[in-house]
């Protein structure tokens, strides 16, 4: 399960690199991948398994079993979760382009996510 966290950290680094390179569409894609894998890591670590989906609504519902603020966090940020979830498909298959503002919001989301869930991510 540590590979999930390592992969999440890799995608997170790539999101910041893409932002510096003005590759805004990839920022959203990489943030989606990072958060998706962080959630799956947390679930695998705490309950031994995770839903085999990329849908944040399902992942955060499962996460709520160990982190009772997960649904609240998801709902408070649902607009940006919807955006990065859309990017998961749109960047790869549809050539969708996203703005610097959207990329900035995605970068902020990953920071908020890590702050709220640092206990389960073993981040100080």
CA angle 49, 61, 122 (to 5 degrees): 60
**pLDDT 10s per residue in the chain (124 long)?**
899 999 999 999 999 999 999 999 999 999 999 999 999 999 999 999 999 999 999 999 999 999 989 999 999 999 999 999 999 999 989 989 999 999 999 999 999 999 999 998 885 4
* pTM value > 0.85: yes
d(CA 55, CA 86): 10
Domain boundaries, the chain: 2-121
* CATH T-level topology, domain 2-121: 1.20.120
- Phi–psi pair at 98, nearest 5 degrees: -120, 155
> 61: number of CA atoms within 13 Å, CB side?
7
d(CA 122, CA 112): 15
**Cβ neighbours of 74 (radius 10 Å):** 19
């Amino acid at each position: 399960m540590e590979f999930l966290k390592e992969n999440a950290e890799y995608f997170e680094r790539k999101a910041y690199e893409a932002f510096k390179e003005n590759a805004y569409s990839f920022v959203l894609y990489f943030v989606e991948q990072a958060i998706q894998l962080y959630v799956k890591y947390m679930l695998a670590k705490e309950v031994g398994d995770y839903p085999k989906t990329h849908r944040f609504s399902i992942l955060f519902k499962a996460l709520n079993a160990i982190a009772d603020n997960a649904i609240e966090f998801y709902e408070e940020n649902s607009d940006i979760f919807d955006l990065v979830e859309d990017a998961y498909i749109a960047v790869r298959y549809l050539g969708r382009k996203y703005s610097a503002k959207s990329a900035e919001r995605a970068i902020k989301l990953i920071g908020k996510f890590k702050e709220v869930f640092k206990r389960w991510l073993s981040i100080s």
